[in-house]
Amino acid sequence: MNLGITTFLDKRPKIKKYFPQIITLLFIIFIFGYFTYNAQVNMDNRGIDFGLRFLGEEASFDISFTPFVEYDGTKPYAKAYLVGLVNTLIVAAIGIFFATILGVIIGISRLSSNYLISKISEWYIEIFRNIPLLLQLFFWYFAALRALPLPKEAINFFDIAYLSIKGLYVPRFVWTNGSVFLFSIVAAIVAIFFVFKYTRIQQEKSGRRIPAFLISLGIIIVLPLLTFLIGGVSLTFEHPELKQLSKTIYNYIGGVAIIPELMALAAALSLYTATFIAECVRAGIMGVTKGQKEAAASIGLTPGQILRLVVMPQALRIIIPPTTNQYLNLTKNSSLAAAIAYPDLVLVFAGTAMMQTGRAIEIISITMLTYLSISIAISILMNWYNKKIAIKEK
């Protein structure tokens, strides 16, 4: 035992307090310095320099799926990054949407009094939770979607959409004066906000309940519709049409192509994450004790009021934090796109762009930073939300 040092430190409590921290700090600085030095040496040897200027250079590769963003091979790498990011967000949004709906349904079914339904939900959860996500993804992409027919014999949905092995083709929305339509929706939302405020004040003042929900429904339907009649907004559809591209190859031209990679990824992410969301929902609903419902019933509230005023507020407090965590996991898991060539951020930027420029450190750092920012932003939001609605205790 190094008694010398320990007695030395004991006599000087201030140093004892700061000593471990200084050691840790030195250690961290040392590690970082060591890595940086090595990286510098290695890059010098290879004739690469460190810098972000490459982001302005021409990308010279195409991306197969670029809705919402204008992109081709002449655009800079920064644009490619943007396309990748947008694609990641698209698949994450679709995944979150379906995972939530499915998760809520299964979570509630798990609590059903019907034995068959609750058992089937239980099996669904056990099956889809215990198979690795990558494997589920591969199954959908390589097995299930490969079984779809060729475009010539595509599955036809009311002559509007066509599903084939090359993807799901849906009509493209072509707007004239689309911005007016968007404004009308924004205006409708603002109006609804005021409707709710007004009806609440009325209820507090006089006790009367004005059906805010129905009025809001009316507004959100009528107002946008009006823009068609008097706002000069019109909408046409560009339908996908089957064209013969060569002697044996047929495909659909026009419309929007939802590529099989996106479908497989969205399906796998939704089915997998739904299992976790279902468990969150179940915990939330079970977390509201029977006594709460009984007390609410005993003071005369109707079942609808009990659900809205007593059960849901408590259940949501239990459900929302872990569910948001699952949304975050889903967004991170969307990076599995790299394994099936869906052009998300990882594949486009940390894959293709990195292979072309060889700038591993910059690109991987930027990619990791992007995901890190998303995680931290969601964390901060979650903490704020938790503080705001926390049930106060002693």
Partner 1 sequence: MSENIIQMEKVSKWFGDFQALKDIDLEVAQKQKIVVCGPSGSGKSTLIRCINRLEEHQQGKIVIDGIELTENTKNIEQIRAEVGMVFQQFNLFPHLSILDNCTLAPIWVKKIPKLKAEELALKQLESVKITDQAKKFPGQLSGGQQQRAALARALCMEPKIMLFDEPTSALDPEMIKEVLDAMVDLAKAGMTMIVVTHEMGFAKEVADEIIFMDEGMIVERANTEDFFANPKNERTKLFLSQIL
Partner 2 sequence: MIKIINFLGTPSREKFSLFVPIGIFLFSLGLIDVTLNSLFDVNITSFFPRGLNYFTPLIFGFLGLYYLRIEFSGNKMLDKLNININSNWFNSILTLLIIFVLIQNIPPLLNWLIIDANFVGTTKKDCSDSGACWIFIKIWFPRLMYGLYPNAELWRINTSFIMLITLVVALFYIPIKLKKYLIIFLIFVFPFIMFNLIHGGNFGLVWVETTAWGGLSLTFIISVFALILCFPIGMFLALGRRSSAPVTRYASIGFIEFWRGVPLITVLFMASVMFPMFLPDGVYMDKLFRVIIAITLFEAAYMAEVIRGGLQALPRGQYDAAKSLGMGYWRLHLLVILPQALKLVIPGIANTFLALVKDTPLILVVGLLELVGMIDMAKTNPDWLGFATEGYVFAGILFWIICFNMSRYSQRLEEKYKTDR
Query: Where does this chain bind partner 1 (CB under 8 A)?
Result: 203-209, 289, 291-292, 294-302, 305, 309-310, 313-314, 317, 389, 391-394
- Measured from the CB of residue 126, what is the shortest distance to partner 2 in angstroms? 6
Quick check: 254 and 76 in contact, CB under 8 A? no
Name the token pair of 386.
């938790």
Phi, psi at 392, each rounded to 5°? -75, 135
- Measured from the CB of residue 20, what is the shortest distance to partner 2 in angstroms? 7
Kindly tell me which of 50 and 213 has the beta carbon lying closer to partner 2: 50
> Distance between CA atoms of 251 and 275, rounded to whole angstroms?
36
Cβ atoms within 10 Å, residue 353: 23
381 binds partner 2 (CB under 8 A): no
Kindly tell me which of 186 and 389 has the beta carbon lying closer to partner 1: 389
User: Which of 141, 89, 61, 94 lies closest to 345 in space, CA to CA?
Assistant: 89
Kindly tell me which of 219 and 338 has the beta carbon lying closer to partner 2: 338
Options 7, 11, 14, 21; binder of partner 2; rule CB under 8 A: 21
> Distance between CA atoms of 119 and 381, rounded to whole angstroms?
36
End-to-end CA distance of the chain: 47
- Measured from the CB of residue 267, what is the shortest distance to partner 2 in angstroms? 14
Site string for partner 2, 315-344 (x = CB under 8 A): -----------------xxxxx-xx-----
The rounded radius of gyration (Å) of the Cα atoms in the chain is 28
> Distance between CA atoms of 342 and 71, rounded to whole angstroms?
16
**Among the candidate windows 161-169, 281-289, 313-321, 346-354, which touches partner 2 by CB under 8 A?**
346-354
- Going across the sheet that includes 167-170, the strands are 155-157, 161-164, 167-170, 256-258
Q: What is the enclosing helix (H) or strand (E) of 167?
A: strand 167-170
Quick check: 177 and 233 in contact, CB under 8 A? yes
130 binds partner 2 (CB under 8 A): yes
Rounded to 5°, angle at Cα 189 from 183 and 193: 145
Residue 300 binds what, of partner 1, partner 2, none (CB under 5 to 8 Å, by partner type)?
A: partner 1
Kindly tell me which of 48 and 318 has the beta carbon lying closer to partner 1: 318
39 binds partner 2 (CB under 8 A): yes
43 binds partner 2 (CB under 8 A): yes
Question: Residue holding tokens 């004892």?
Answer: 16
Q: What is the enclosing helix (H) or strand (E) of 141?
A: none
- Measured from the CB of residue 345, what is the shortest distance to partner 2 in angstroms? 9
Kindly tell me which of 35 and 213 has the beta carbon lying closer to partner 2: 35
Residue 208 binds what, of partner 2, partner 1, none (CB under 5 to 8 Å, by partner type)?
A: partner 1
Within 8 A by CB and 6+ apart from 368, the residues are none
Residue 377 binds what, of partner 1, partner 2, none (CB under 5 to 8 Å, by partner type)?
A: none
- Give the residues lining the site for partner 2 (CB under 8 A): 17, 20-22, 24-25, 28, 34-35, 38-39, 41-43, 45, 112-117, 120, 126-127, 129-136, 138-139, 142-143, 146, 332-336, 338-339, 346, 350, 354, 360-361, 364, 367-368, 371-372, 374-376, 379
